[in-house]
Amino acid sequence: MVARESNDGLDRQTLLTMLRWQLEAGVDEAIQTQPWNRFETSTLPNKSATVATRPSPREIAPKSQKHPASTASGETKVTLEDFEKITTLEELRERLEDFDGGMLKRFATNTVFGDGKAGAKLMLIGEAPGAEEDRRGLPFVGPSGKLLDQMLGAIGLTRADVYITNTIYWRPPGNRTPTPEERNATLPFLLRQIELVAPKVVVPLGGPAAQSLLNESAGITRLRGRWIDFQTRNEAGGLSIPALPTFHPAFLLRQPAQKKQVWQDLRAIRARLRG
């Protein structure tokens, strides 16, 4: 089948590739071909000249009517106490699907909630989904995930033995680092997710995950290899779990020499799980 060309001589596949590149770069607003002063009503463009707004790649989930307060970036505010009546991971996933995740959710393909079952002894928490994770809706299924599987295998575990998730449930445009505000917006979901899984050990992977989860400002180089008493909350119903931050598999792919330090962390995790 011959692709139909546009007025500019570009075929449909080329145009789609160009649009996909813009989405990856974080473009989220259409502009007109001619500039105009939005403060002057006399310069408003004709209706016929207005460029239609580009539809988002996925429909935006409706805002929760129960929690109308919003952050500056548009996400609906929630607190850990809002999830007291949620007793299963599936219920929490459904609540997350109804959550207005702002720009991140708007331009993601899938919500990447987690992989594993409640009761897993080890819970691994990364930073945010990558491109492959966004396409498949599962955490750590790209190159970093393959290395993570090898790391688990080194201490006698498989993905079936652990629970894996991220601090952010949607891929940031262009794979950029999530902002502190974006991480804080979904932190209550993550804390309740940890309570429902109830692991014996929590392992934040990488600096952003460790800083967000443990409320630390130090970098991962200083945090890794150090056991930290982590609490989901101070009130009744919270969990106190030992946490051991370590390097993210993506970092190890770029810096293979650091695998030696991670092997020490993995051995410490294995000893704690067996203890």
Residue 43 has pLDDT above 90, yes or no: no
How far apart CA 273 and CA 244 sit, in angstroms, is 12
Of 233, 194, 232, whose CA–CA distance to 114 is shortest? 194
27 DSSP assignment: -
Question: Which segments within the chain are labelled E, that is strand?
Answer: 122-126, 162-166, 201-204, 228-231, 240-243
Of 29, 20, 212, whose CA–CA distance to 131 is shortest? 20
Q: What is the pLDDT of residue 262?
A: 97
Beta carbons of 148 and 124 less than 8 angstroms apart: yes
Q: Quick one: CA torsion of 205, 211, 217, 222, rounded to 10 degrees?
A: -20
H helix or E strand, kind and range, residue 228: strand 228-231
Residue 42 backbone phi and psi in degrees, to 5: -70, -20
Q: What is the pLDDT of residue 71?
A: 42
* Per-residue pLDDT reduced to its tens digit, 128-181: 999 999 999 999 999 999 999 999 999 999 999 999 999 999 999 888 888 888
Residue 258 has pLDDT above 90, yes or no: yes
How far apart CA 103 and CA 107 sit, in angstroms, is 6
Q: What is the pLDDT of residue 235?
A: 76
- Classify residue 74 as exposed, middle or buried by CB count within 10 Å of its CB (0-12, 13-18, 19+): middle
Residue 243 backbone phi and psi in degrees, to 5: -125, 140
Mention every residue, 6+ apart, whose C-beta is less than 8 A from residue 96: 111, 113, 169, 189
SS3 268: helix
Residue 48 has pLDDT above 50, yes or no: no
Task: Look at domain 80-274 and name its CATH class.
Answer: alpha beta
